Amino acid sequence: MVAPRLGAPPMRLAQAPRRTSHSLPDAMVCCPLIHPTADAMTQGQYPLLDNPFWHALSGDHARHSAGGAQARRYARGFSPIVAFADPGQPDFAALAPHCDLGEQLYCDSWSGAAPPGWRVDAETTMFRMVWDGPAPADDAAPDAVALGPQHAAQALELATLTRPGPFGIRTIELGEYFGYFDGGRLVAMAGERLSAAGLREVSGICTHPDFQGRGHARALAQKLIRRQALRGETSFLHVMRANEMAHHLYLRMGFRDYRESVVRVISRTA
């Protein structure tokens, strides 16, 4: 699975009471935490988006998860993500039996001090964006190939190279994935990850460096947005604050910022 790159020490943030010597992954370049104004965000309109990882893991994706009523994670092989019923008071004791020592896991919306037996390896913030435009009238990627289990290894290889976010060998089982190939090599893809009561995440958007600038990622994302709209679903996605180019692209496409939240990589130490 795609894991954080280790090495240089991360920057300390205002809400980060503890740090380690681990560096941030490529998709999590650290930056100061900014508290947006009420006019800039639209929190509250979609309550499930206040804690979408939990609502996915305890709802539509419960069959792909491990855990209980207070803490859950995607099962091994899927994206290494955990979530808590109450991020303000996370139950790490309930999560611990489902995590290996040293296993690095992504956690959203929790910013407290790490409890004994746990470590914060990396921290930044990300924008959660919700679709606010009309459904695309046409399929922007009619020639894209639907990805299946036979493409899982190539999808993981591309995600490992481009680092769009947490990704595992089974992540493409969480929803529809489409890609472009050059010969037999997968060079661009996008798909679906979180699912929560009519909300559907567009995720895993990435292009091989040798094939960037051709509009593949945007076309694949628009294809998914259209398919979700036709199913009556609301599209949303996540983008790291430091990835300004992608953030501005999604705004131009028709997404708007819903909220900015802390995202961490954590690991169990005892």
Q: For residue range 34-58, what is the model confidence (pLDDT) as tens digits? A: 334 333 455 668 999 999 999 999 9
**pLDDT value at residue 42:** 57
**pLDDT value at residue 27:** 43
Our measurement of the distance from residue 135's CA atom to the centroid of its chain's CA atoms, rounded to an integer in Å, reads 22
**pLDDT value at residue 13:** 30
Enumerate domains of the chain plus CATH numbers. Answer: 47-126+261-268 (3.40.630.30), 131-258 (3.40.630.30)
Residue in 198, 167, 213 with CA at minimum distance from that of residue 190: 167
Residue 116: count other Cβ atoms within 10 Å of its Cβ.
7
Q: Check: CB of residue 158 under 8 Å from CB of residue 130.
A: no
**pLDDT value at residue 14:** 30
Residue in 124, 125, 71 with CA at minimum distance from that of residue 268: 71
196-236 pLDDT tens trace: 999 999 999 999 999 999 999 999 999 999 999 999 999 99
Residues 6+ apart with CB under 8 A from 215: none
What global pTM score does this model have? 0.85
pLDDT above 70: percentage of residues in the chain: 84
For 204, phi and psi rounded to 5 degrees?
A: 65, 30
Our CA angle for 9, 12, 17, nearest 5°, is: 115
Q: Check: CB of residue 256 under 8 Å from CB of residue 224.
A: no
Give me the residues of the chain with pLDDT under 70, please: 1-44
**pLDDT value at residue 41:** 57
